[in-house]
Chains A and B, each alone.
Chain A
Amino acid sequence: MDFINHQLFIKDINVHIDPILPKKTAIITHGHADHARFGHDHVIATKQTIDIMKIRYGDKCAKKFTPLRYGQKYSIKNYDFTLYPAGHILGSAQVLIEKNNHRLVITGDYKVGKDETCRNFKLVKCDTLITEATFGLPIFQHPDPKDEIQKLIRSVKINKNNCHIVGAYALGKAQRVMNLLRQQNYNETIYIHGSLEKLCQYYSKEKINIGKFEKVSSKDRSFYEGKIIIAPPSALKDRWSRRFPNPIICMASGWMTVKQRAKQQGIELPLVISDHSDWNELLDTIKKSKAKNILITHGQEDALVYYCKKQNLVSKPLSIQGRSDEEIE
């Protein structure tokens, strides 16, 4: 496993996984901005991740693209790469790297729970597991997202004169919230912040059921009474949100588990809906992967490292620069 360093760089063949700066060859696990960046020479990823990168950064965001299907092997010298579903967002992948009979899996961001907006997580057995740890503390035990989305639907029913603005990341979370609403038979048009439009259109095109949506426009204030509006978290505090009638500020995120955090961010209706594994799912994945060597990337790595050591697994944190905890999901 010494072929890869703490920056997820394989020097031998000059390949990076999710590099922050422009590189020669980059394997990209998924389209979130802290993983997929502009300006690499060669990007290797799932077709959907490549599509998303092109939507966000333009068709020329890399010089060359190699789309891989899940399970399709791609070799560079004596290294074999295979992508497997990570269940995080549309197109998200884990990377299996095989070299001389050693199997190393980089999970990228992943969740084990069911999600209609992407292919569900597939467990890959390996010798070395590099796992994320966004929610690597035992306080994080995600509830059933259906119950959470029901809270929103109930609140919309009770507060007829308010509009509900749901903060959700533009890629992945926003569409998941829309899909969850549809699963619970909420059939009204969902209104979205302009920055979500292209990605929502793409999800629709990929046959993800997010239902009818419409970009927010400068309609009469009262028009939005009783409506659900989805916006990126940054827009919640912005002047943008003040144009709506009596908004109830909601947020869909795993961080909403902690009331104090919700309060700090001025969230009135927290919805614990996460696209990352919770504590139990992290432990379960570590166990079932059969890996003896566990490396832990961004998030709350301390507790997970401690836990792995107690299970007699070799474990240490990887500190990847440019990714501090709590800024990302």
Chain B
Amino acid sequence: MKKFSSLLHNLILTPSRNIKIKLLQDYFKILDINRSYALAILSDQLSFQFIKASKLRELVYEQVDQHLFDYSYDYVGDLAETISLIWPTKKEGKSQNLSTLIENIKKIKKSEINKEFSKILNELSNNERWTLIKICTGGLRIGVSERLVKTALADLYNKPVNEIEEIWHGLEFPYENLFQWLKNETSKPKIDFKKLFHPMMLANPIDEEKDFKKLDANEFQAEYKWDGIRVQLMVSSKSVSLYSRTGDNISSAFPEIIETTKGDAIIDGELLVGKNFKPAGFNDLQQRLNRKKASKDLQKKFPVFIRAYDILFYKGKDLRKLSLVERRKYLEKFQKENKTNKIDLSSIINFTTWKELTNFKNNFNDDLNEGVMIKLKNSEYLPGRKRGYWYKWKKNPKLVDAILMYAQRGHGKRSSYYSDFTFGVWNENELVPIGKAYSGYTDKELLILDKFIRNNTINKYGPVREVKKEIILEVAFDDLFPSKRHKSGVAMRFPRIHRIRWDKLVNEVINVKQLKKEFNIK
């Protein structure tokens, strides 16, 4: 555990990619089972069922005053670090192996967690405690991507990183077949790709000025970008399952899809809410998200369907190396053979010049799509966000000027900075918040806002600072919809700070009534 926690400590503090790779390789040179645990942790595949962030908070409140913890957490901006630092240090015990420690934790009974896990935290050093809590909360955020881990392994054993990438999702802890193959002791692990979740092909935002000059419109096809959730549907004669973009099985939440789909394929598409293939807004879709199950009533009120974009496998045949145009033929074939009222196809937009496409992007159906996707006709199905194949071109965002009201410190890389901003507009003679944003600004703007907040705080509510009402923010957002939970009666979808409006005065900002009128909200 000492060795692994100092690996993480060094990784987080090393800016150089090459040194990170070297640190990882030095660790992976150890030949025992600990490297398997390390690989599972670094690729975010290890977690403890009963020990999550809320449990950890409960444990730390048993040890220290809740308010003092909250002040500290607000300051540090990272749960693992706050707990590891504030935990009253007892005498350090004998350092355990990473593998032994993890197996011991897995054996703890649910009823004894508070006692047993606290005991373990007591006996660790500061840095080990930080590491263990990071493992529990998942998502290490130490500046090491899964790709970097794979690269380190590939370079260490002189294998192409793409070959690791290809079999990655078919591998399981303790990855013995992977390590044996890397050392040339066996051949490459055989993976049944038909039964596997495949990381999705993602798009990069288009740079209107640079990209359109370089790209030939004839080589691309366009489709609308729908505002739902991206899914992968796996159909075989034996079973049907539905996966989210991150590879979570979400079948049980959408029984109507599972029950009605037939055939033998892996489909990539967008899950949307709506009747007769007419998408309703994202607000409606939200009624179906983050639920384990869906009642009959819910299914009726908010029916879902899948708008298919692509096909990866058809009757056992791997289509991923075919071109998009070829795959589309298979997709149409699949749809014809297995007609249901739950799957339709994403239609292809005909255009000959980029200028022509602009009209489609901005005008079509107003709120129901987010813009267009531009895909290279020749593109294979490649996992991840590879450059040069697929682009997304979002509609121009909606904008509103609002007044900065409150601020709070951020987390992760923005910890210590006041980087979460709540802003509002007028309602009669008072201001009401209409949203909160923690992105969009430049580094320079963040420094200016942070400084303004520190020097112009008029009230503190715990970690929240109320500031003098002087700064006008131009806020960009995707949508505005009615909300009963907010005092202003409206809520924003994906608000972000567009810029600071130095040229505008506080009394020039609009009021809620005008805002609602502008976006057709009653």
Point out residues on A near B: beta carbons under 8 Å.
137-141, 257-264, 266-270, 300, 302-303, 306-307, 310, 324-326
Given A262-B13, A266-B15, A306-B68: A139 and B416 interface contact (C-beta under 8 Å): no
The 8 Å CB contact of B64, one of A138, A262, A269, A324, is A138
Residues A260 and B64 in contact in the complex (CB < 8 Å), given A138-B86, A302-B71, A303-B71: no
Candidate in B85, B412, B413, B455 with the most chain A CB atoms within 10 angstroms: B85
6 nearest A-B pairs in the assembled complex, by CB-CB distance: A139-B85, A303-B71, A139-B72, A137-B72, A260-B415, A324-B454
Residues of chain B within 8 A of A263, CB atoms compared:
12-13, 143, 413
A324 touches B455 (CB 8 A): yes
- Give B304 Cβ to nearest chain A Cβ, in Å: 40
Chain A CB within 8 A of B76 CB: yes
For chain B, residues 386 to 421, give those with C-beta under 8 angstroms from any C-beta of chain A: 412-413, 415-416
Q: Provide the residues of chain B in CB contact with A258, threshold 8 Å.
A: 76, 81, 85
How far apart sit A120 and B190, CA to CA, in the bound complex (Å)? 69
The 8 Å CB contact of B85, one of A257, A267, A300, A324, is A257
Q: Is residue B426 within 8 Å, beta carbon to beta carbon, of the partner chain?
A: no
Q: Which residues of A contact B9 (CB under 8 A)?
A: 259
Among residues of B, the one whose C-beta sits closest to the C-beta of A300 is B75
Contact B75 A137 (CB under 8 A): yes
Contact B15 A259 (CB under 8 A): no
Q: How far is the CA of A263 from the CA of B140 in the complex (A)?
A: 14
Do B416 and A261 have beta carbons less than 8 Å apart?
yes
Q: List 6 A-B contacts (CB under 8 A).
A: A138-B69, A139-B75, A260-B81, A261-B415, A310-B65, A325-B454
* Residue of A138, A259, A269, A324 touching B72 (CB-CB under 8 A): A138
A140's nearest neighbour on chain B, judged by CB, is B85
Residues of chain B within 8 A (CB-CB) of A266 are 15
Q: Is B293 an interface residue (CB 8 A)?
A: no
What per-residue 1/0 map shows which CB atoms of B59-81 lie under 8 Å from chain A? 00000110111011001111001
Determine whether the beta carbon of B77 is less than 8 Å from that of A259. Answer: no
Taking A263-B143, A268-B15 as known contacts, 6 extra A-B pairs with beta carbons closer than 8 A to each other, sorted by chain A number, are A137-B72, A138-B68, A141-B89, A260-B412, A261-B415, A264-B416
Most interface-central of A259, A303, A306, A326 (chain B CB within 10 A): A259
B72, B78, B454 — most chain A CB neighbours (10 Å): B72
**Min C-beta distance of B389 to chain A, whole Å:** 33
The residues of A that contact B413 with a CB separation of less than 8 Å are 260, 263-264
Known interface pairs A139-B76, A259-B130, A260-B415. Does A270 touch B82 (Cβ–Cβ under 8 Å)? no
CA distance A28 to B50 in the complex (A): 56
A260: B residues at CB distance < 8 A: 76-78, 81, 412-413, 415-416
A9 and B291 alpha carbons, distance in the complex (Å): 61
Contacts of B412 in A (CB 8 A): 260
A260 to B86, CA, bound (A): 15
State how many residues of chain B have any CB contact under 8 Å with chain A: 30
User: Is A303's CB under 8 angstroms from B13's CB?
Assistant: no
State the CA gap A324–B413 with chains docked (Å): 21
> In whole Å, how far is A284's beta carbon from the nearest beta carbon of chain B?
16
Interface residues in B409-440 by Cβ distance below 8 A to A read 412-413, 415-416
Query: Which residues of the partner chain A approach B358 to less than 8 Å between Cβ atoms?
Result: none
Query: Residue A268 contacts which of B13, B77, B82 (CB distance < 8 angstroms)?
Result: B13
Please report which residues of chain B, range 149-205, place their CB below 8 angstroms from some CB of chain A when the two chains form the complex.
none
Do the beta carbons of B68 and A307 come within 8 Å of each other? yes
Q: How far is the CB of A318 from chain B (nearest CB, A)?
A: 15
The CA-CA distance from A326 to B415 in the complex, in Å, is 13
A115 to B413 alpha-carbon distance, docked (Å): 34
Cα A215 to Cα B78 in complex, Å, equals: 40
Complex Cα distance A306/B75, Å? 15
Contact call A141/B85, Cβ cutoff below 8 A: yes
* B230 CB to nearest A CB, Å: 31
Residues in chain B near residue A306, CB distance under 8 A: 67-68, 71
A212 to chain B, nearest CB (A): 30
A303 and B415 contact, Cβ closer than 8 Å, known pairs A257-B85, A262-B13, A268-B14: no
Residues of B within 8 A of A140 (CB): 85
B460 touches A (CB below 8 Å): yes
- Identity of the chain B residue whose Cβ is nearest the Cβ of A262 in the assembled complex: B13
B15 smallest CB distance to A (angstroms): 6
Which chain A residue shows the least CB distance to B13? Answer: A268
- Which residues of the other chain, A, contact B416 by a CB distance below 8 angstroms? 260-261, 264, 326
Docked CA distance A291–B72 (Å): 26
State how many angstroms separate the Cβ of B5 from the closest Cβ of chain A: 11
- In the complex, which residue of chain B has the Cβ closest to the Cβ of A269? B13
- Interfacial chain B residues near A303, Cβ < 8 Å: 67-68, 71-72
Residues of the B chain whose Cβ atoms lie less than 8 Å from the Cβ of A259:
9, 12-13, 78, 81, 130
Q: How far is B13's CA from A137's CA once the two chains are assembled, in angstroms? A: 23
C-alpha spacing A302/B65, complex, angstroms: 14
Least CB distance, B125 to chain A, in whole angstroms: 11
Q: With a CB–CB cut-off of 8 A, which chain A residues contact B76?
A: 139, 258, 260
